[in-house]
Amino acid sequence: ITEGLGEAVAPFRAEQSPQTRPQNEPEPLPDDQPLKAVAASPGLALAPIFVLRQPTLTYPDTAVDSETQIMRLNRAFDAADSQLRTLIRQAEGGEAAPILSVHVEMLQDEDLYQAALEAINEGASAEAGWWQAIDTAAKGQEALADRLLAERAADLRDVGRRVLANLCGVEMPKPPEQPYVLVADDLGPSDVARLDTTRVRALVTARGGATSHSAILARALGLPAVVGAGDAVLKLVDGAELVVDGERGSLVPNPGDERRAQVARRLEQLAALQAEAHDKRHQPAITRDGHRVEVCANLGNTAHAPDAVARGAEGIGLLRTEFVFMAHPEAPDLATQIDEYRSAFDALNGLPLVARTLDVGGDKPLDYWPLPQEDNPFLGMRGIRLSLTRPEILETQIRALLTAAGDRPLRIMFPMVKDLEEFRAAKQIVQRVQAEVTCADVQIGVMIEVPSCALLAPTLAPEVDFFSIGTNDLTQYTLAIDRGHGQLSADSDALHPAVLRLIQMTVQAAHAHGRWVGVCGELASDPQAIPVLVGLEVDELSVTSRRVPLVKACIRDFTLDAARERARLALSKATAVEVRDALESF
Ligand code: PEP
Ligand code: MG
């Protein structure tokens, strides 16, 4: 075959001359030119680059002394365990701590350890045996074609590398003492957790989507982040300057004088704005012409409720209760759930709490609630349709919420409802429990996440107390783009006119029946979207706690009339890019 089977053989690719770039080697990024990537966490930064280059770990594949190898592996395990526990202590109360705890559990995984021992006993070195075990387990998870499981595979490799580095006696790269922008291929959760936030000004990754662990952690830490920027960013030179705009998802290496001055001015303005927003965080968000919009916080962990209140949140606009379920090895019982929810109500001092009932399936599996393999889990057993198959679990959760609330304001809403029939079925369960548990101030609402619900909002409005628009899912289902898709997520913009029209329909139907509407998806914290949402007459915005003061400040900066005009402008456009361009030049 290599000789051509009787035909002349022309090489598929011309031989590379020494001057040509090796195959797959990215072009270096030009100076002072913006590069567009995926916006993962808002904010602006200008600082020198530090490219995190994973050290190459070299080791022999085989060894003859299996006992010594096992001893070495055990020592590397102990070291990894204590490193992780130190990191957990440092990250206490933060989003990273539970992820790192999962890493500790992975270290204790007996199957993983046994797989490594087997390989060592068959002649592998400790390093090779261990990595073989990790790689097999990670590939097994990746093969399940589920995004969350694939992320667990990344966690597995992360733990694996830690042990491997300990075995090779290699220290992880040391970042500079001065402020810097961290550039990396992709960041594992423990890399992000290890970040010294006093020095890291922004994060940039070559791979990853806006919903990767690192992006979620960057948002929780309040660090600007741009992800999925491509391999070329790894070729950036340490110490060179980089502008990171986490709002627009753009990067500019080595900005010219004019751009530097512009960015410096914007940074100053942002710092002043932030300081003012912080000072006024406990004041209501009222537009210049006196229109009030409530600003609440999204929470995954009830322990963060006091922090949300301290940042000026006027309530919890979305409690993602599935995290209470994910934190336990089996479904938490009534008493456990009452304790959880009660602690949030206690912290809220009479402010309302909007609890979204258990929302698993799709990208959020629960170990103890195995689901059948589905080709399209996002279009399958998910949200309320899953909960309605086990009404006793939903009933216990509702009982816990009503009991914990007592006479404090509780709003219950159901995720991924497609129409009135599902809403009625879920509402019936609440009413059944309400007959037994008195709770003085309860409202029952529905999340608008499926386009059918927005289209049919006039049929739902008479029977609900409120709507809360989950723009993350609403966008995914309207534009038919998986919200976690690494390649397409940049096109999955909730400021798309199709999504805005669905929001408009929802608000109009709600207000015609005197119901209120909130937006709890990520769009609510997008500075370009805030006036549009207010112009569409959304009554409440619920955002990550850290953004509460800034969202309030943004609302104080325009009039309702101007907001309405922006909404009209946005609705008249054909694409998300057109909407953003029009708003930018408004
Ligand atoms: C949403 O879909 O917009 C939402 C708020 O819910 P989650 O992101 O938890 O799916
Ligand atoms: Mg959702």
Q: What is the CATH number of the domain that holds 576?
A: 3.20.20.60
How many structural domains is the chain composed of? Answer: 3
Query: Above 60 in pLDDT, residue 23?
Result: no
Q: Who wins on pLDDT, 579 or 17?
A: 579
- Predicted confidence at residue 211, as pLDDT, reads 54
Closest of 240, 111, 257, 126 to residue 183, by C-alpha: 240
Q: Who wins on pLDDT, 156 or 483?
A: 156
Mark whether 193 and 141 lie in a shared domain.
Answer: no
In this structure, of 38-42, 148-152, 343-347, 439-443, the range with the lowest mean pLDDT score is 148-152
- Predicted confidence at residue 12, as pLDDT, reads 58
Cα separation of 449 and 413, whole Å? 12
Cα separation of 412 and 172, whole Å? 46
Angle ∠(260,221,543) on CA atoms, nearest 5: 100
Mutate to test the pocket of ligand 1, among 447, 473, 496, 538 (most ligand atoms within 8 A of CB): 473
Q: Identify whether 5 is part of a domain.
A: no
168 among known catalytic residues: no
In this structure, of 121-135, 370-384, 500-514, the range with the lowest mean pLDDT score is 370-384
Q: Is 478 in the pocket of ligand 1 (CB under 6 A)?
A: no
- Structure-token pair, residue 556: 């104080």
Q: Is 470 in the pocket of ligand 1 (CB under 6 A)?
A: yes
Mark whether 243 and 376 lie in a shared domain.
Answer: no
Q: Tokens 């054909």 identify what position?
A: 574
Mark whether 347 and 440 lie in a shared domain.
Answer: yes
The CATH number that applies at residue 129 is 1.10.274.10
Query: Above 50 in pLDDT, residue 16?
Result: no
Q: Cβ(406)–Cβ(389) under 8 Å?
A: no
- Structure-token pair, residue 304: 């963060």
Query: Above 90 in pLDDT, residue 281?
Result: yes
Mark whether 247 and 338 lie in a shared domain.
Answer: no
Cα separation of 551 and 297, whole Å? 11
Q: Identify whether 143 is part of a domain.
A: yes
Query: Above 50 in pLDDT, residue 361?
Result: yes
Q: Do β-strands 316-320 and 353-356 pair in parallel, antiparallel, or remain unpaired?
A: parallel
- Per-residue pLDDT tens digits for 137-173: 888 876 665 555 666 777 888 889 889 999 999 876 7
3-state helix, strand, coil in the chain (%, to 5): 45, 15, 40
Q: In 3-state terms, what secondary structure has residue 135? A: helix
- Predicted confidence at residue 20, as pLDDT, reads 44
Q: Identify whether 9 is part of a domain.
A: no
- Predicted confidence at residue 22, as pLDDT, reads 52
Query: Above 60 in pLDDT, residue 97?
Result: yes
* 449-453 average pLDDT score: 98
Q: Identify whether 240 is part of a domain.
A: yes
Q: Identify whether 59 is part of a domain.
A: no
Q: pLDDT class for 188, splitting at 50, 70, 90? A: low
Helical H runs in 40-95?
66-90
Closest of 156, 22, 38 to residue 489, by C-alpha: 38
Mutate to test the pocket of ligand 1, among 326, 356, 449, 482 (most ligand atoms within 8 A of CB): 449
Q: Cβ(251)–Cβ(233) under 8 Å?
A: yes
Q: Is 253 in the pocket of ligand 1 (CB under 6 A)?
A: no
Last residue of one domain, picked from the residues 236, 270, 304: 270
Query: Above 90 in pLDDT, residue 326?
Result: no
Ligand (nearest to CA of 364):
1
Cα separation of 539 and 549, whole Å? 17
Q: In 3-state terms, what secondary structure has residue 375? A: coil
Q: What is the dihedral of CA 229, 231, 232, 234, to 10 degrees?
A: 100
In this structure, of 44-58, 267-281, 460-474, 508-522, the range with the lowest mean pLDDT score is 44-58
Query: Above 70 in pLDDT, residue 489?
Result: no
Residue tagged active-site, from 103, 213, 304, 496: 213
Q: pTM of the predicted model, to two decimals? A: 0.76
* 9-16 average pLDDT score: 54
Mark whether 299 and 354 lie in a shared domain.
Answer: yes
Q: Do β-strands 442-448 and 200-205 pair in parallel, antiparallel, or remain unpaired?
A: unpaired
In this structure, of 34-43, 137-146, 287-296, 519-528, the range with the lowest mean pLDDT score is 137-146
E strands present in 402-531:
410-414, 442-448, 466-469, 516-519
520 among known catalytic residues: yes
Q: Mean of the per-residue pLDDT values for the chain? A: 89
Q: How far is CA 548 from CA 181, 213, 308, 545, 555, in A?
A: 25, 22, 8, 5, 11
Query: Above 50 in pLDDT, residue 467?
Result: yes
Mark whether 209 and 345 lie in a shared domain.
Answer: no
Query: Above 70 in pLDDT, residue 19?
Result: no
Q: Identify whether 15 is part of a domain.
A: no
Q: Is 471 in the pocket of ligand 1 (CB under 6 A)?
A: yes
Q: Identify whether 29 is part of a domain.
A: no
Q: Residue 58: CB partners within 8 Å, gap ≥ 6? A: 168
Alpha carbon nearest to ligand 1 atom 4, residue: 470
Closest of 130, 107, 106, 102 to residue 118, by C-alpha: 130
- Per-residue pLDDT tens digits for 190-203: 566 567 777 899 99
Highest mean pLDDT among 40-49, 140-149, 485-494: 40-49
Q: How far is CA 251 from CA 45, 49, 123, 245, in A?
A: 10, 12, 48, 6
Cα separation of 204 and 241, whole Å? 13
Q: pLDDT class for 96, splitting at 50, 70, 90? A: low
Query: Above 50 in pLDDT, residue 444?
Result: yes
Query: Above 50 in pLDDT, residue 514?
Result: yes
10 Å Cβ neighbour count for 10?
7
Query: Above 50 in pLDDT, residue 15?
Result: no
Q: Domain range spanning residue 198? A: 35-53+173-270
Mark whether 446 and 333 lie in a shared domain.
Answer: yes
- Predicted confidence at residue 490, as pLDDT, reads 63
Residue tagged active-site, from 296, 439, 453, 520: 520
Mark whether 496 and 579 lie in a shared domain.
Answer: yes
- Predicted confidence at residue 192, as pLDDT, reads 67
Q: Identify whether 6 is part of a domain.
A: no
The string of DSSP letters for 183-229 reads: EES---HHHHHT--TTTEEEEEESS--TTSHHHHHHHHHT--EEE--
Q: Who wins on pLDDT, 326 or 416?
A: 416
Cα separation of 321 and 306, whole Å? 17
Query: Above 90 in pLDDT, residue 394?
Result: yes
Mark whether 545 and 448 lie in a shared domain.
Answer: yes
Q: pLDDT class for 537, splitting at 50, 70, 90? A: very high
DSSP, res 254: S
- Predicted confidence at residue 209, as pLDDT, reads 67
Mark whether 290 and 339 lie in a shared domain.
Answer: yes
Q: Is 521 in the pocket of ligand 1 (CB under 6 A)?
A: yes
Alpha carbon nearest to ligand 1 atom 8, residue: 472
Last residue of one domain, picked from the residues 135, 168, 201: 168
The CATH number that applies at residue 232 is 3.50.30.10
Q: Residue 239: CB partners within 8 Å, gap ≥ 6? A: 48, 49
Last residue of one domain, picked from the residues 168, 194, 216: 168
Closest of 104, 76, 281 to residue 189, by C-alpha: 104
- Per-residue pLDDT tens digits for 231-245: 899 999 999 999 999
Q: Who wins on pLDDT, 555 or 162?
A: 555
Mark whether 376 and 473 lie in a shared domain.
Answer: yes
Mark whether 163 and 180 lie in a shared domain.
Answer: no
